[in-house]
Structure formats: C-alpha cells, structure tokens
Amino acid sequence: MSDFHVLGYRLRLTGLLRLETALRVGSGLTDEISNTDIAVIKDDQRRPYIPGSSFKGALRAHIERLVRLVEPDAPGYGRGACNPVNRHEWCITSGQMDILRQNPETLDDQVYQFSCRVCRVFGSPWLASRVLVKDLLLAEPELWFERRYQVRHGVGIDRDSETASRGLLYDYETVPAGTEFRWEIIIENANREEVQDGLVIWGLHEFANGRVRLGGGRSRGLGWVTLIFDDQAEEVDAGDRTALLQYLQTGKGRPVGRDTVLARAATFAQVLARQGG
Ligand SMILES: [Zn+2]
C-alpha cells in the first residue's frame, strides 16, 4: 500500500538480476520459505518469475540485518530495525497504537516519529511503504525454452536423528545458472534528509556485490545472485515544474546516472555511521 496519489519525488531504478548458481523453484506457498528467502514461481506459461513482494521481503530483511549491526539498540525514532515477523517486537505494537489513536490529530506525526528506520521506508501495519517492487520477469523470455528447469534430488532430514532418513527423498526444480531477470523498483517520496532512497540503494548494492544468497536450498550452494544496475535511473521531482510537465507529456522522467545513484548509498552509509556511532 503506497500513497501514489500525491506525487512529490519519485526515483525509478532498473537493472538485471543474474543467477550465478541455480535458484530453487517454489510453489509460492509461504510455509516453504522464510521471509529472507526469495521464491521463484511459474507464470501461466510455466516460465519462471520472481514475485516483487518476495524480492522486496528479501531486500528488506537484508537491510534490517545490516542496520541492526550499526544501530543494535531499541528500534524506533527513525533508528534501528524492528522485527516485523514478531508482533511483540514491532517498533509500534498494537497496544501502543491504541494509545496513539486517542489523539487522531497527531496520529500521523506520532506514528512516523516512533517508527524505526526501516519501517519509515518499507512500511509497517501503520505506515505506507515508499518502495514498490515490480515482479521480476525473464530478461529474455524467448530464450527460456533452450534453458528449461533442471530437476534435482533432495534428501529429507529426520528431525530427531538429524540424519538423512529413508523415504524422505524428493525431487525439486531449479532455474539454471546464467538466467537473468529484469528488476524495477520505484521509491516514492523518500525523505531526502534521512537519505531514505539511499537506504534502499545501499541494500541493493549488497546484492550487486554478490554478497547475498537467495532462495531455499542454500546449503546446497544454490541461490547466488548478482544484481546489476542499469546505466541510468529515472527521477521525477514534482517540485521542478519543467521536469514535471515533461514527465506528464512523455511519461519519462529525468535520467540519473548510475554513479549518482550509487553515491546516494554512500551518503546513507555515512549518515548511518554518524548516527549509529
Ligand atoms: Zn519498525
């Protein structure tokens, strides 16, 4: 849920996600994968794609881990990262929210104030997300039929004996190494003082460095990915009338070079180091 009615500042980032090793195909059932995992599922033509929500979840979880390293203390007031998976560890719990609701006129401000660094950007049950991740589709769908899924054999582990047990053999499919997907992320109305766009780019940059593995079956060496930024991103600043009119006429924003985009991540890292130290 994002507030796309009010256009202030929008940054659109695009690029490629390349599989360095095979990525496991899931059925899309949530109990199969943890929130840090990314699911590859099949579209109605049986081609693989990565749901945007899944990629966003993995990106968020990765950013949370990094932010907690620098700001480990109680998350809130624009710092740290709460645990969205456990409702008792939210930066604003349901109980606190009930109290804040008693003052409707200050509610929005208070919610923003109390929210942690990551919720302020990625959203929470009480706060809209500023990050929109589109589904990642095959970069070259016409080549898919030459690649195809690969079938692998898995061995179930007996939970009691922690050994491979008979009868727990199963097959699963993977998308082969070398497959590329297109990604597109839109950041809406980032607070530029807090370098909120930089936080997202900072997280993506870790993926770019190949430091992140995605998907189930990590113990089997699956899920290494590299993320590549396109040469240019695109921005629309509604405060800049000329740029806005051009955008409304052409649907295209102003190009922003990759170096400028990556510089935002560096700026964010500096802000974090200064405030977290
Ligand atoms: Zn939070």
Distance 210 CA to ligand 1 centre (A): 27
Q: Confidence class of residue 34 from pLDDT cuts 50, 70 and 90?
A: very low
Query: In this model, does residue 174 exceed pLDDT 50?
Result: yes
Amino acid 1 reads M
Query: What mean pLDDT is predicted for residues 85-106?
Result: 95
pLDDT at 10: 92
Each residue's pLDDT tens digit, 220-272: 678 888 999 999 999 998 888 888 888 888 888 999 999 999 999 999 999 99
Query: In this model, does residue 5 exceed pLDDT 60?
Result: no
Distance 267 CA to ligand 1 centre (A): 22
Q: Confidence class of residue 6 from pLDDT cuts 50, 70 and 90?
A: low
Query: In this model, does residue 25 exceed pLDDT 90?
Result: no
What's the distance, CA 155 to chain centroid? 30
Least confident residue range of 14-28, 79-93, 263-277: 14-28
Most confident of 85-89, 121-125, 204-208, 211-215: 121-125
Distance 10 CA to ligand 1 centre (A): 23
Distance 78 CA to ligand 1 centre (A): 9
What's the distance, CA 172 to chain centroid? 25
Distance 209 CA to ligand 1 centre (A): 26
Neighbouring residues of the ion ligand 1, judged by CB less than 5 Å: 82, 91, 116, 119
Distance 93 CA to ligand 1 centre (A): 10
Q: d(Cα 93, Cα 86) in Å, to the nearest integer?
A: 10
Query: In this model, does residue 160 exceed pLDDT 80?
Result: no
Distance 91 CA to ligand 1 centre (A): 4
| Share of residues in the chain with pLDDT > 70 (%) | 85
Read off the pTM.
Answer: 0.87
Q: At what angle do helices 258-276 and 52-70 cross, to 10 degrees?
A: 40
Q: At what angle do helices 196-208 and 52-70 cross, to 10 degrees?
A: 100
pLDDT at 194: 94
Are the CB atoms for 17 and 103 separated by under 8 Å? no
Q: d(Cα 261, Cα 231) in Å, to the nearest integer?
A: 10
Query: In this model, does residue 123 exceed pLDDT 70?
Result: yes
Domain ranges of the chain: 9-70+130-276
Query: In this model, does residue 166 exceed pLDDT 60?
Result: no
The per-residue pLDDT of the chain, averaged, comes to: 85
- Tell me which of 214 and 266 has the higher pLDDT: 266
Distance 112 CA to ligand 1 centre (A): 10
pLDDT at 155: 67
What's the distance, CA 116 to chain centroid? 17
**Sequence-ordered alpha helix ranges (H) in the chain:** 52-70, 94-100, 107-114, 119-122, 144-147, 196-208, 241-250, 258-276
Q: d(Cα 47, Cα 90) in Å, to the nearest integer?
A: 37
CA 40 to each of CA 19, 34, 176, 195: distance values in angstroms, whole numbers, following the listed order: 12, 13, 12, 31
Long-range contacts of 144-149 (CB under 8 A, 24+ apart): 144/47, 144/48, 147/175, 147/176, 147/178, 147/179, 148/176, 149/25, 149/48, 149/173, 149/174, 149/175, 149/176
What single-letter DSSP state applies at residue 210?
T
- Tell me which of 258 and 146 has the higher pLDDT: 258
Distance 134 CA to ligand 1 centre (A): 23
Distance 34 CA to ligand 1 centre (A): 19
Least confident residue range of 4-18, 116-130, 156-170: 156-170
pLDDT at 204: 95
Distance 76 CA to ligand 1 centre (A): 6
Distance 275 CA to ligand 1 centre (A): 17
Distance 92 CA to ligand 1 centre (A): 7
Distance 79 CA to ligand 1 centre (A): 9
- Helical (H) or strand (E) element with 180: strand 180-188
Q: d(Cα 27, Cα 54) in Å, to the nearest integer?
A: 13
Query: What mean pLDDT is predicted for residues 149-174?
Result: 69
Are the CB atoms for 13 and 265 separated by under 8 Å? no
Each residue's pLDDT tens digit, 49-73: 999 988 998 899 999 999 999 999 8
Distance 186 CA to ligand 1 centre (A): 21
| Share of residues in the chain with pLDDT > 90 (%) | 56
Query: What mean pLDDT is predicted for residues 89-117?
Result: 96
Cα 94-52-69 angle, rounded to 5 deg: 60
